[in-house]
Amino acid sequence: MLSNPARVKIIWLQGITCNGNTHSFLNDPALGNFLESAEFIHHPLLPCKNTLKELVKKLPKSDILIFEGAYSASFERAGMAMETLLPALASKTSHIISLGSCASFGGIFKEGNPEQISGIVFDKEEEKGPLRAMREKVITLSGCPAHPKWLSFVIDMIVSGKRIALDEYRRPKELYGYLVHNGCLRNEYFEWKVDSHHFGTKEGCLYYAQGCQGPFTHGSCNKILWNEVSSKTRSGTPCVGCTEPTFPKSNLFSTKTYMSIPSEMPLGIPKRSYLALAGAAKSFHIKRLEERLIDDNA
C-alpha cells in the first residue's frame, strides 16, 4: 500500500514513441475518477506539475513511473540522454509500468535499429534491458497500444496495495492470462474449422487463412472491449499479435500453412492432437455455419 493512497504521484515519461499509448489512455471514460486519486508530476499532454525541462532538472521521486515507447541509451528528452534520465527516475520510484509493446519488448521501433533499441526490461524475449536489475518493480503492459483499462486496473491495484499475479514477462495474469481468441465472436467457426474465406464478413474464423494470431496471443481484447464496443477480431480484422515479444511478425494478413493446416498451433495444443481433432471436425458439415448469419442485410 502506498503512503498516501489519496493522491498517487505519477511520472509519465516517453521514450521512442508514436504517442499511441498516451492517446489510448485518454479514451478511458473513467479518467475523471482516476485523476481524483492520481496526480501527474509529469505527463506529455495532460496538465501536470513539472514540465519536461523541470523534470530533467529535478529528477523527482514518484510512486509510479510509467514509461511509454522504446528505449535507446542515446535518445534524449529535454536534452538529457535516456541512459541517464530513465535509471535516475526509476531508482526514485516504487513501481514502474512498462506501457505498450515498445517499452515492453522494443516493439515496432526496434525494427528500425535492432542493435540500439529495446524494451526497458526485455529485449524481445530476452531479459537484457536497462532496468533488468529493477525487474521486481516493473509491471509489463504490452500491446500496441495498451488498453486504457489495463493501465487503470494496474494503477488501482498498486494504490490499494493488492498483489498482482504476473506471468513470465511480468504481465498481469488477470489481463494476459486470456488469449485474444477468448471471447472472440467467431469461436464456433474456429471449433468446427470453418474458414472465413475472405475479409468483410461476420462469419468464419480468421485463423485458418487470414493470419489471425488470436489463438496464441495473450490479451483480454475480447473480454475488455476496445473503446467499450469492439475489438480487431469483432470488426473482422485478424489479431496481429501485438502484445507478444515477437510483434511485429511478417505477412500479417495470411496464415502460413502446412498441408492446409496452420503451421502455428493454438497455444498449448500439440500438433498431432490438433490434426486428429481438425480431421474429425472438418468431417462435419454444419449447414448453419456455412450460411450467412443474416441473409437479407438490407
Partner 1 sequence: MITHELIERIEGEAVLDFKTDKSGVVQDANIRFSHFRGMEAILEGRNALDALVITPRVCGICGHSHLIATVKMIENVYRNAGVSIRISDKANAIRQITLSCELIQNHIKWLYLVMLHESAKMLGEEPGVALKALYVSSQVNQLCALFSGQWPHSSYALPGGVTCDPTHIEVMQALKILSDVECFIRDEVLGCDVDAFAQAMEHNRVLSLTGDFGTVLRNFERLGVLEQGKSHSRFLVLGDTQEIIVHSQHSGAIAENVSEDSSQTFAEGGNTYAKNALYNGEFFETGPLARALVQERTGISALHRLYGDSALTRITARVDEMVSLCAEVRELLMSLDLSQPSFITPPSIESISGEGIGIVEAPRGSLIHRATIEKGKIVSYTIITPTQWNLGNGTSMIPGIAQKAMIGAASTAKASLLFRTFDVCSVCTTH
Which residues lie near partner 1 (CB under 8 A)? 14, 16-24, 26-29, 31-32, 35, 44-47, 51-53, 75-79, 108-109, 111-113, 144-145, 198-202, 221, 226-237, 240, 242, 248, 250-254, 294, 296-298
At 8, is the secondary structure helix, strand, or coil? strand
Question: Smallest distance from the beta carbon of 170 to partner 1, in angstroms?
Answer: 23
When the beta carbons of 66 and 137 are compared against partner 1, the nearer one is 66
The closest alpha carbon to 244, from 140, 129, 161, 132, belongs to: 140
Q: Are 98 and 141 in contact (CB under 8 A)?
A: yes
- Torsional sign, CA 208, 213, 216, 220: negative
Residue 168 or residue 296: which is nearer to partner 1 going by CB? 296
Choose between 11 and 221: whose C-beta lies nearer to partner 1.
221
CB-CB neighbours of 239 under 10 Å: 27
Block residue for cell numbers 518493480: 137
Nearer to partner 1, 124 or 234 (CB): 234
Distance in angstroms (rounded) separating the CA atoms of residues 200 and 146: 26
Q: How far is the CB of 150 from partner 1 (least distance, A)?
A: 13
SS3 of the chain: helix, strand, coil, percent, to 5: 30, 15, 55
The H-or-E segment that residue 20 falls in is helix 20-25
Between residues 76 and 167, which has the closer beta carbon with respect to partner 1? Answer: 76
Which lies closer to partner 1 via its Cβ, residue 112 or residue 279?
112
User: Closest approach of Cβ 295 to partner 1, in Å?
Assistant: 11
* Least Cβ distance, residue 19 to partner 1 (angstroms): 3
C-beta of 225: minimal distance to partner 1 in Å?
9
Radius of gyration of the chain (CA): 21
- Is beta strand 8-14 parallel, antiparallel or unpaired with respect to 80-81? unpaired
Considering the complex, what minimum distance in angstroms separates the CB of residue 212 from partner 1?
11
C-alpha torsion 72→73→77→78, nearest 10: -160
